[in-house]
Amino acid sequence: MLLDDSRFPLVFLRAHEELGSSIDEQQERNSQLESLLDKQTPFVLIADHSTHDHDDETPEERKAKALFFKRIKDRIRKYCLGLIVIEGHSPANTAARIAAAAASKALGFSVQFAADEESAAAKGMVLLEKHAA
């Protein structure tokens, strides 16, 4: 997964072409996310990666990810206004929606679903406008 902030404050989590990711890629992604939070400016995350992207994670990788998000939890709650998941051609299954609800509660921001990147960006702009009002 790669962070693309070229349309900031809309920040895209792009699928990586290769299956799995190395520890270096995970550390780079974490560093990018911390840099994003260091801007101290509200933003919206838009994910276009598959709900199965994390199926091959080891327990150690999941633990490291959980510890990372625990460490940045307060800042991500303050600056991330929401996560919008692009469903693509097939709607997210029930398990994915339950996981999204749990993530929403744990991280303190809404998780929404959109059919494509255009509608995801529109939903993101609505979140940003509501916050600015």
User: Domain locations in the chain?
Assistant: 2-132
Q: Is the pLDDT of residue 92 over 90?
A: no
pLDDT digits (tens, 9 = 90+) for 98-132: 888 887 888 788 899 999 999 999 999 999 999 99
pLDDT digits (tens, 9 = 90+) for 58-91: 888 888 888 998 899 999 999 999 999 998 877 7
pLDDT digits (tens, 9 = 90+) for 22-62: 667 778 888 999 999 999 999 999 998 655 555 567 888 88
Q: What is the pLDDT of residue 25?
A: 75
Measured CA distances, 90 to 60, 69, 129 (Å) = 30, 28, 29
